[in-house]
Amino acid sequence: MDVDHRLVSLRHSYDTDGTEQLPIILHQISEEDFTHFLNWVYHISSVPPPPEEQFLVAIFKMGFKVYTIIARAKEVMERERRALAAYPPSLLVSPSFSCSSHLHSQCKEAWSGFWWKKVARAILHPMNPLPLTQILQLVIEAPLPNGMNIACKQAMVDAMIELEGLEVEERIIEGVIRAVTLYFNSL
């Protein structure tokens, strides 16, 4: 089975891995070095990385196989983020009860513009990208885009909730945890 396939296809069965109850233990690397590595992988900017030499040594201590699993996961996550930024969800939503077919084209146009100008920019921000799990909150709290019916905005938000596509990063991270755990259990 290919690692990419495992990362994307495994779902929500290991809810406690990586928690205080069931920590991930990597004997080759310190908790601090692993935390710095994960901060680097997932663009968490609140913790500065250690000096480059120490950081690279920590990656090598962790092992090439683990690094490969995490690097592939990062590639998949970046691809998912770019796709979500480029293609706003819920454009196929039918007009709401208070919107006509003719006016709905304006709603869809307003939604696309809002998505590209506000949401996609936040997702693709180079220094502080918005986690996909926070997109829904951003959309809900944003003012109604010009030219959009409020009921259509709510219908698009409802469609986003039903699709569950915003949790893709969490599913990939869960897959990484499972893959790394399985690898170390196989040693």
| Ramachandran class of 108: left when φ > 0, alpha when ψ lies in -120 to 50, beta otherwise | alpha
Residue-wise pLDDT tens digits, 148-186: 888 888 888 888 888 777 788 888 888 888 888 888 777
- 50 phi, psi to nearest 5 deg: -70, 170
Q: What is the mean pLDDT of residues 130-136?
A: 88
| Cβ atoms within 10 Å, residue 101 | 8
DSSP 152: H
pTM of the model: 0.63
Each residue's pLDDT tens digit, 104-131: 888 889 999 999 999 999 999 988 888 8
* pLDDT number for residue 12: 37
Structure confidence at residue 5 as a pLDDT band (50, 70, 90):
very low
d(CA 4, CA 156): 30
Cβ atoms within 10 Å of 69's Cβ, excluding its own: 23
